[in-house]
């Protein structure tokens, strides 16, 4: 789908939402929208990027959008689910995922969480030697169908966003392969535990170049080959390559695509495509981000220091990373009138601010847009992952409704409520005395 087609599809959904009362300046001033047809198209492109001859489970990273109806939609499209907390595990089970298609990653799994995962047959990636010792104790008293592996840190370096880079020399995640003595200690851990049959790695996400990601996977596969060569048989039968495909937040283009990443993997890790290993992927942002948008009404406008400022209902509560780290997480802003039609008046630089009670609550500074007016609608594309699905409760601002949209062959849009708007509770009204 071209960028123009995506923009037109987004506007069609927005206008239908206004017409159907899902956005309304008095009662529904902020909402998130997910294009469910586009989600299914994205999952299809992910699955088709990997050769059909390989055994691959694409496990959606639940942290990217943990709404249970969204997870259920992804399950129906053929995905598994990667979870990083007990809460996400509960959401995955509620969404109907087969435990055998759930992968549990967390650097801080409690004994109770590990015991539950082992009892249900959920795949577990241990994050440390201490966690392996804890698993020893748990497995001594139970049998389990869980696939168990170790997360290794290939220590290949970081990308452009340090907070998103998980394969640096000092990352908190995984067993660092290059630290003195760790290679042999980890090899011995596999010798001592026949149930260790997987290797997991994840280099990072937004800001990480594909070559860096592929080099990290290559080191994980090389370690798996070393284990198997050392033992004289194929004990390691699966590689979890993580996710992390970056998203282009600057346009409607989907770049890089899953196929481009697979090409990089072929170049750097040909053994991954030999058929000797099962593969798990853990893509999240790249599956959902470009298939959702946030829409909010402009409540007031003013001019400050000669610059127009639009006060909207979308701020840090639904765009937390953008507000607190705008250079790392810039977003696009689109201006629409109150009926949802794209504005075409002369663009002028202006600030787009949110409702939170601190000065830095800005979606954009000096952004050139058609001049915004009260009851206009601002649209923030590419927010189907992390933004409105995991709101920040600053100022006790209520969670906005999230709607799923489907468009039929005649261009008619039908909506399904994925999360109701949280009711605001203003408290008791004092009675007159």
Mean pLDDT score across all residues of the chain: 95
What is the CATH class of 3-35+289-419?
Answer: mainly beta
Kindly report which listed range (14-23, 168-177, 194-203, 420-429) carries the lowest average pLDDT score. Answer: 420-429
d(CA 312, CA 378): 8
Half-sphere exposure of 127 (CA within 13 A, CB side): 15
Kindly write down the DSSP assignment for every residue of 349-400, as one continuous string: EEEEE-SSSSTT-EEEEEEEEEPP-TT-EEEEES-TTTTTTS---GGGPPPP
Find out whether 137 and 115 touch, Cβ atoms under 8 Å: no
Q: Which of 43-52, 153-162, 190-199, 215-224 has the lowest mean pLDDT?
A: 153-162
pLDDT digits (tens, 9 = 90+) for 384-393: 999 999 999 9
**What's the rounded mean pLDDT across residues 156-185?**
91
27-41, 275-289, 301-315, 413-427: which has the minimum mean pLDDT?
413-427
For residue 428, pLDDT beyond 90? no
Confidence check: pLDDT of 219 > 90: yes
Distance CA 380, CA 68 (A): 23
* pLDDT over 70 at 189, yes or no: yes
Q: What is the pLDDT of residues 238-250, one digit of tens each?
A: 999 999 999 999 9
pLDDT in tens, 355-399: 999 999 999 999 999 999 999 999 999 999 999 999 999 999 999
Q: Is 279 left (phi over 0), alpha (psi -120 to 50) or beta?
A: beta
Q: For residues 317 and 264, is the Cβ–Cβ distance under 8 A?
A: no
Q: Are 101 and 123 in contact (CB under 8 A)?
A: no
Residue 96 pLDDT > 90, yes or no?
A: yes
Tell me if 397 sits within 8 A of 357, measured CB to CB.
Answer: no
CA atoms of 38 and 242, how far apart (whole Å)? 23
Residues in the chain: 433
> What 3-state class would DSSP assign to 110?
coil
**Are the C-beta atoms of residues 315 and 354 closer than 8 Å to each other?**
yes
The DSSP secondary structure of 172-210, one letter per residue, reads SSSEETTSTTHHHHHHHHHHH-TTEEEEE---BSTT--H
User: Tokens standing for 153?
Assistant: 């840190």
With H, G, I as helix, E, B as strand and everything else as coil, classify residue 293. strand
> Rounded to an integer, what distance in angstroms lies between the CA atom of residue 113 and that of residue 88?
12
> Has residue 430 got a pLDDT over 70?
no
Over 90: is that where the pLDDT of 433 sits? no
- Evaluate if pTM is beyond 0.85: yes
Residue 258: the pLDDT is: 97
- Radius of gyration in angstroms for the set of CA atoms belonging to the chain, rounded to a whole number: 23
Domain ranges of the chain: 3-35+289-419, 37-288
- 260 has a pLDDT exceeding 60: yes
Contact status, residue 203 vs residue 166, Cβ threshold 8 Å: yes
Spell out the alpha helix ranges (H) of 20-67: 36-49
Choose the CATH number for 37-288 among 3.40.50.150, 3.20.20.10, 2.60.40.1480, 3.40.50.300: 3.20.20.10
Provide the b/e sequence for 30-47 (b: ≥16 CB within 10 Å): bbbbbbbebbbebbeebb
Does 1 score more than 80 pLDDT? no
Compute the distance between CA of residue 119 and CA of residue 146 in angstroms, rounded to an integer: 8
At 182, give phi and psi (nearest 5°). Answer: -70, -35
Q: Provide the pLDDT for residue 429.
A: 59
**Which two structure tokens, joined as six digits, stand for 156?**
């290949």
What number of other Cβ atoms are within 10 A of residue 101's Cβ?
A: 19
Q: Are 300 and 374 in contact (CB under 8 A)?
A: yes
pLDDT band at residue 138, thresholds of 50, 70 and 90? Answer: very high
User: What are the CA-CA distances from residue 269 to residues 15, 175, 240, 354 (Å)?
Assistant: 46, 21, 13, 45
pLDDT at 51: 96
155 vs 292: which has the higher pLDDT: 292
Average pLDDT estimate for 324-341: 96
Instruction: Give the model's pLDDT for residue 329.
Output: 94
Residue position matching structure tokens 């509560």: 317
**Token representation of residue 341:** 């039609």
Stretch 30-39: mean pLDDT: 98
Number of helical (H) and strand (E) elements in the chain, helices listed first:
11, 18
Pairing status of strand 56-61 against strand 80-83: parallel
Percent of the chain with pLDDT over 90: 91
Contacts of range 190-196, beta carbons closer than 8 Å, 24 or more positions apart: 190/150, 190/227, 190/231, 190/235, 190/236, 191/230, 191/231, 193/132, 193/136, 194/235, 195/139, 195/148, 196/132, 196/148, 196/149, 196/150, 196/235, 196/236
- Rounded to whole angstroms, the Cα distance separating 70 from 87 reads 15
Residue 197, token pair as written in the block: 């049959």
Residue 105's DSSP bridge partners are 125
Closest CA to 304 of 357, 239, 354, 349: 349
């Amino acid at each position: 789908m071209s960028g123009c087609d995506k923009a037109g599809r987004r506007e069609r959904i927005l206008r239908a939402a206004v017409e159907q009362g899902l956005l309304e300046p008095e009662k529904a001033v902020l909402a998130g929208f997910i294009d469910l047809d586009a989600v299914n198209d994205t999952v299809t492109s992910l699955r088709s990027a990997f050769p059909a001859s390989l055994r691959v489970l694409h496990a959606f990273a639940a942290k990217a959008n943990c709404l249970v109806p969204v997870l259920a939609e992804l399950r129906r499209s053929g995905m598994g689910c990667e979870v990083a907390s007990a809460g996400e595990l509960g959401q995955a089970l509620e969404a109907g995922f087969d435990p055998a298609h759930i992968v549990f990653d967390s650097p801080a799994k409690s004994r109770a969480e590990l015991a539950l995962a082992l009892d249900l047959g959920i795949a577990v990636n241990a994050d440390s030697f201490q966690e392996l010792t804890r698993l020893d104790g748990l497995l001594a008293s139970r049998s389990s169908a869980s696939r168990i592996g170790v997360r290794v840190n290939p220590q290949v370096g970081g990308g452009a966003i340090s907070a998103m880079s998980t394969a640096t020399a000092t990352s908190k995640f995984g067993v660092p392969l290059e630290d003195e003595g760790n290679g042999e200690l980890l090899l011995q851990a596999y010798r001592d535990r026949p149930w260790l049959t997987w290797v997991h790695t994840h280099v990072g996400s937004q800001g990480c170049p594909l070559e860096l990601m592929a080099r990290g996977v290559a080191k994980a596969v090389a370690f798996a080959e070393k284990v198997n060569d050392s033992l004289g048989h194929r004990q390691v039968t699966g590689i979890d390559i993580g996710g992390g495909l970056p998203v282009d937040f600057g346009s409607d283009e989907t770049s890089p695509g899953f196929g481009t990443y697979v090409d990089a993997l072929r170049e750097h890790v040909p053994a991954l495509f030999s058929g000797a290993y099962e593969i798990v992927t853990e893509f999240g942002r790249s599956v959902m981000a470009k298939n959702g948008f946030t829409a909010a009404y402009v409540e007031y406008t003013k001019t400050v220091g000669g610059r127009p400022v639009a006060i909207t209902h979308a701020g840090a509560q639904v765009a937390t990373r953008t507000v607190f780290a705008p250079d790392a997480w810039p977003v696009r802003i689109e201006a629409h009138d109150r009926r949802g039609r794209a504005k075409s008046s002369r663009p002028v630089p202006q600030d787009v601010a949110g409702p939170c009670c601190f000065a830095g609550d800005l979606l954009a500074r000096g952004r050139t847009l058609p001049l915004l007016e009260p009851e206009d609608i601002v649209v923030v594309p590419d927010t189907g992952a992390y933004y409105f699905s995991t709101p920040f409760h600053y100022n006790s601002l209520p969670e906005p409704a999230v709607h799923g949209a489907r468009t039929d062959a005649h261009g008619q849009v039908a909506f399904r409520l994925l999360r109701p708007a949280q009711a605001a509770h203003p408290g008791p009204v004092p009675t007159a005395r």
